[in-house]
């Protein structure tokens, strides 16, 4: 994910999300633990990092780019029904677009269809 100045990566194996400078080596600025067990996708909404977790189907809206554990958690019935297959996430002004392994489909749901997760 590109936030306008830096590249962000999610590492499912290491359970980390990292921020990288835009130098020739893409030097790691810092790396933080992911709030979920298997971060699968990142999105930048213009001010916040949003991450999606593959295993739980939870979308995390991070309040701070320096502490990713400060977040609000959300789910959608579509995400809950396809746990373990969540593989891609992006958004536009009207809603969220998600991809699941093995379906051959892209799904869209409106922003008001997210519910707070526990």
pLDDT tens digits, one per residue of 28-76: 999 999 998 999 899 998 888 899 988 888 899 887 777 777 788 988 8
Residue-level length of the chain: 118
Separation between Cα atoms, residue 33 and residue 63, nearest integer Å? 15
Q: What is the pLDDT of residue 101?
A: 84
Longest Cα–Cα distance of the chain, Å, equals: 42
Q: Is 53 exposed, middle or buried (0-12, 13-18, 19+ CB in 10 A)?
A: buried
What is the band of 10 on the pLDDT scale with cuts at 50, 70, 90? very high
Q: Is 7-116 in CATH node 2.130.10.10?
A: yes
**Domain map (residue ranges) of the chain:** 7-116
């Amino acid at each position: 994910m590109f936030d306008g100045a830096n590249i962000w990566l999610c590492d499912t194996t290491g359970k980390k999300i990292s921020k990288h400078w835009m130098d020739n080596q893409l030097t790691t600025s810092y790396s933080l633990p992911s709030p979920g067990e298997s971060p699968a996708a990142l999105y930048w909404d213009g001010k916040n990092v949003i991450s999606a977790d593959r295993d739980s189907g939870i979308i995390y809206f991070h309040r701070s780019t320096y502490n990713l554990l400060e977040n609000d958690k959300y789910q959608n019935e579509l995400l809950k029904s396809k746990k373990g297959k969540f593989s891609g996430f992006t958004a536009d002004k009207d809603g969220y677009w998600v991809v699941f392994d093995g379906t051959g489909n892209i799904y869209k749901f409106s922003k008001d269809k997210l519910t707070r997760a526990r």
